[in-house]
Each structure stands twice: as C-alpha cells, then as structure tokens.
Amino acid sequence: MFKVNEENPTEIEENVPEEGPLVLPSTSEMAKAANWVHHMKSILKCNRTTLLEVEAPEGVEPEEFAKKRQLEDPSERRLKPITDDSKVKGGAPAWTIRSMGDMTLY
C-alpha cells in the first residue's frame, strides 16, 4: 500500500501505519471503482514519464526555465482515482470493475 508524498505529489511512498498491521479493504470495498487508483506515473506530452534534464538557455535562470517546462507539460498526481479518468467514446466510463466472488473463508 502506498500514499502520496506530501512534498511532491508526483511521487509516492510506502504507507506504514504507526501502530498495528495495515488494514486491507474487503472484497465489497474493492468492487467499487472509487477505491482503485493509478500506481504508475502518467505519460507526459513528450511521451516520457519525466522531463529530460535540459540546460537553460543563456540569460535564463535555470529554476525559471525548469518551472516553465513543468507548466508546459505538467505531471498528473500519483495515485489518481480511476474514476477521474476521461470517459471513452459514447460516454462510458474508462474502467469497469467486475467482482468474481468473495474469497472469505469461514
């Protein structure tokens, strides 16, 4: 299980509970699309997951140049819910969830 890094929302870190074991969601909870998220980094307009390190042109501050490049091709936040994805042709959701049964043992 992961959580979004507070300092950089484009990065994730392991979610370690302060006390006790990590509580896993039930099968009925996992059957809801709102409980599923994207784990991998999103693909940018440049067809990469990260921007290349490019040297700033002369007369331009490197920090300002990097900020401008980031604004032109921004990264999406990590662990974005799949319900936030754009609808597909015909207005259908991009994702569907199928529940194939409960694995609860008695």
From first to last of its 106 residues, what are the pLDDT tens digits of the chain? 788 888 887 788 888 888 888 888 888 888 889 999 988 888 899 899 888 888 999 999 989 998 999 899 988 888 889 999 889 999 999 998 887 765 554 4
Q: In the prediction, which pLDDT does 90 show?
A: 92
The helix or strand, by DSSP H or E, that contains position 29, with its residue range, turns out to be: helix 27-30
pTM summary value: 0.66
C-alpha span between 83 and 102 (Å, rounded) = 23
| Assigned domain for 56 exists | yes
- Contact between 93 and 32 under an 8 Å Cβ cutoff? The reply is no
Query: Does a structural domain hold residue 41?
Result: yes
Considering its fold, how many domains does the chain have in total? 1
- State which residues form the domain around 43: 1-89
In a domain, 94, yes or no: no
Nearest to 55 by CA among 45, 65, 47: 65
